[in-house]
């Protein structure tokens, strides 16, 4: 990239960040809302599969004339309504197939694999936006940065940064880190929570000095608890009061919608950690005191229109006119609440915590986890997120497991089965430690079963290629 191109990209990046840090937050939201009806009409006119769905629901696109009409009359759709039912040609906007740049395939975690069809323009735009986010969070234009992609093979990170794709191989990832270390100022390491736990622990076993690396972990593909972050921070030597010396935060993407839809900032990380210990702020934000804090991530209403239904399902309507599969009112299978920037500002100001307000004038989503993944035990609910919070609340317990567990219920008796790491001896004392940790945040009693690594009856190989079903 020559000097002029670099200068132009930096100018565009700085302009974009200024807009997001200095604009009226309500204007950013209004800009996106103004694009909802044109995006809907384009999808209805150009996407054959969507036309059929609307016809089956008796929806006349020309009768949708306001945002209220849109939210009250346009049907919510899910991946099972689209990808198992229609051919690819019916999903892509008419006349656009020659713009195809790449096809992304989901993990099939839900039982219905989905596809992300990316146009050439979208691919360029995705690179621009992801590089902006990375520069905002990590000053990549000012620091010599190396990105390590540890997501499963086939998941590409569109970026102009120097990078390596090791997939889910800790041996390869650690080898690259050791080789590159003398030539870079910081690492960005992207992967799933379970894999990055193993990477951090294996690195320590091999004598790697994580604090000396200025390492930044970006976690995707699965929800993680705040106790997990604390456990990982003590392994990596990360201090959240000094983010320039290391960072550990979440990024949320969906194959068919985009790889970076939400992300944490240093302020939202600090806010989540404060909410875990500050009951007054906790109850003010959530309306009641809760023990397991959702992930708090900023989202971009200029790029998509996001809704949270009464059951807290998150619904996306993509606004880019160049989307090859223009998904409208699409249920992601995740749950959460939405907090406009000004509402969050009012709550934090009232509690003297305005320092925790994101600098970006963007709304925040409180991401609670996957929908429908809750057990009912004797009239009380138990969610996987509660087990995760408990598991990592005891560092000794966390260090002995792979982090994988399976929840089940039979005749109103709940059970949690968990996998130990290799070569761990099970003792009565160990069982008691696990029971105390795992049930610390649950309302219902559960039977705890711990397995030697090789005896875990679910996906024993654990190749980290696919998401693991906890329930």
Q: Where are the alpha helices (DSSP H) in 139-246?
A: 170-180, 193-205, 226-236
Least confident residue range of 74-78, 87-91, 176-180? 87-91
Taking residues 97-120, report their average pLDDT.
72
Taking residues 156-174, report their average pLDDT.
93
- Which percentage of the chain shows pLDDT scores above 90? 75
Residue 86 has pLDDT above 60, yes or no: yes
pLDDT at residue 379, as a whole number: 86
pLDDT: which is higher, 464 or 47: 47
pLDDT at residue 5, as a whole number: 63
pLDDT interval class at 8 (50, 70, 90): low
Residue 467 has pLDDT above 80, yes or no: no
Contact by Cβ (8 Å): 324, 100: yes
> Strand, coil or helix: what is 2?
coil
Give the chain's count of helices (H) and strands (E). Answer: 17, 18
pLDDT at residue 258, as a whole number: 87
Taking residues 296-300, report their average pLDDT.
98
pLDDT interval class at 468 (50, 70, 90): confident
With b for 16 or more beta-carbon neighbours within 10 A and e for fewer, the 212-233 pattern comes to: ebbbbbbbbbbbbbbbbbbbbb
Q: Where are the alpha helices (DSSP H) in 23-74?
A: 25-34, 36-46, 48-56, 67-73
Rounded-to-integer distance, Cα 94 and Cα 455, Å? 51
Taking residues 391-403, report their average pLDDT.
96
The two structure tokens encoding residue 288: 């009641």
Residue 3 has pLDDT above 90, yes or no: no
Residue 112 has pLDDT above 80, yes or no: no
pLDDT at residue 460, as a whole number: 53
Rounded-to-integer distance, Cα 442 and Cα 381, Å? 8
Task: Return left, alpha or beta for 321; rule: phi > 0 is left, psi -120 to 50 is alpha, else beta.
Answer: alpha
Residue 311 has pLDDT above 70, yes or no: yes
Helix pair angle (25-34, 341-350), 10° resolution:
160
Residue 180 has pLDDT above 60, yes or no: yes
pLDDT in tens, 420-460: 999 999 999 999 999 999 999 998 999 999 999 999 988 65
pLDDT at residue 219, as a whole number: 96
pLDDT: which is higher, 101 or 278: 278
- Edge-first strand order for the sheet with 258-263 is 163-165, 145-149, 186-191, 215-219, 247-254, 258-263, 295-299, 364-370, 330-339, 313-318, 304-308
Instruction: Calculate ∠ Cα 357-352-248, nearest 5°.
Output: 40
pLDDT in tens, 192-224: 999 999 999 999 999 999 999 999 999 988 899
The pTM for the full model equals 0.94
The two structure tokens encoding residue 434: 């696990």
pLDDT at residue 116, as a whole number: 78
> Strand, coil or helix: what is 49?
helix
pLDDT at residue 221, as a whole number: 80
Alpha carbon 347 to its chain's center: 25
Residue 396 has pLDDT above 70, yes or no: yes
pLDDT at residue 238, as a whole number: 95
363 C-beta neighbours (distance < 10 Å), count: 22
Residue 111 has pLDDT above 80, yes or no: no
Taking residues 16-22, report their average pLDDT.
94
pLDDT interval class at 231 (50, 70, 90): very high
pLDDT interval class at 241 (50, 70, 90): confident
pLDDT at residue 461, as a whole number: 54
């Amino acid at each position: 990239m020559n000097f002029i191109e670099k200068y132009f990209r930096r100018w565009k990046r700085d302009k974009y960040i200024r807009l997001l840090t200095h604009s009226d937050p309500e204007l950013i939201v209004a800009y996106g809302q103004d694009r909802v009806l044109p995006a809907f009409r384009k999808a209805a006119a150009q996407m054959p599969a969507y036309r059929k769905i609307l016809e089956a629901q008796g929806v006349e696109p020309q009768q949708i004339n306001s945002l209220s009409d849109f939210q009250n009359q346009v049907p919510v759709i899910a991946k099972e309504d689209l990808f198992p039912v229609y051919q690819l040609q019916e999903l892509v906007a008419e006349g656009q197939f020659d713009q195809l740049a790449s096809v992304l395939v989901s993990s099939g975690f839900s039982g219905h694999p989905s596809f992300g069809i990316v146009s050439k323009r979208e691919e360029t735009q995705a690179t621009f936006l992801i590089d902006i986010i990375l520069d905002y969070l990590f000053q990549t234009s000012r620091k010599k940065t190396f990105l390590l992609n540890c997501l499963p093979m086939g998941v590409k990170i569109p970026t102009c940064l120097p990078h390596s794709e090791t997939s889910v191989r800790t041996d390869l990832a650690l080898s690259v880190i050791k080789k590159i270390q003398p030539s870079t100022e910081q690492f960005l390491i992207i992967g799933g929570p379970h894999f990055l736990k193993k990477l951090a622990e294996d690195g320590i076993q091999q004598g790697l000095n994580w604090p000396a690396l200025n390492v930044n972990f970006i976690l995707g593909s699965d929800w993680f608890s705040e106790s997990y972050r604390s456990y990982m921070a003590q392994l990596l030597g990360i201090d959240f009061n000094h983010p320039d010396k290391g960072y550990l935060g979440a990024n949320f993407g969906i194959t068919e919608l985009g790889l970076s839809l939400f992300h944490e900032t240093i302020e939202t990380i600090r806010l989540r950690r404060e909410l875990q210990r500050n009951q007054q702020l906790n109850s003010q934000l959530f309306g009641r005191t809760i023990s397991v804090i959702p992930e708090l991530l900023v989202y971009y209403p200029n790029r998509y229109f996001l809704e949270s239904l009464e059951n807290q399902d998150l619904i996306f309507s993509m606004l880019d006119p160049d989307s090859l599969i223009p998904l409208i009112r699409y249920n992601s299978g995740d749950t959460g609440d939405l907090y406009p920037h000004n509402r969050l500002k009012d709550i934090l100001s009232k509690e003297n915590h305005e320092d925790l307000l994101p600098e970006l004038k963007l709304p925040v989503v409180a991401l609670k986890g996957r929908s429908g993944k809750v057990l009912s035990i004797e009239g009380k609910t138990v969610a996987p997120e509660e087990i995760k919070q408990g598991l990592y609340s005891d560092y000794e317990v966390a260090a002995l497991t792979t982090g994988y567990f399976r929840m089940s219920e039979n005749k109103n008796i709940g059970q949690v089965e968990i996998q130990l790491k290799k070569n761990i001896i099970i003792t009565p004392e160990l069982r008691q430690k696990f029971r105390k940790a795992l049930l610390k945040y649950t309302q219902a009693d559960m039977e705890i079963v711990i397995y030697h690594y090789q005896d875990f009856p679910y996906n024993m190989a654990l190749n980290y290629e696919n998401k693991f079903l906890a329930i």
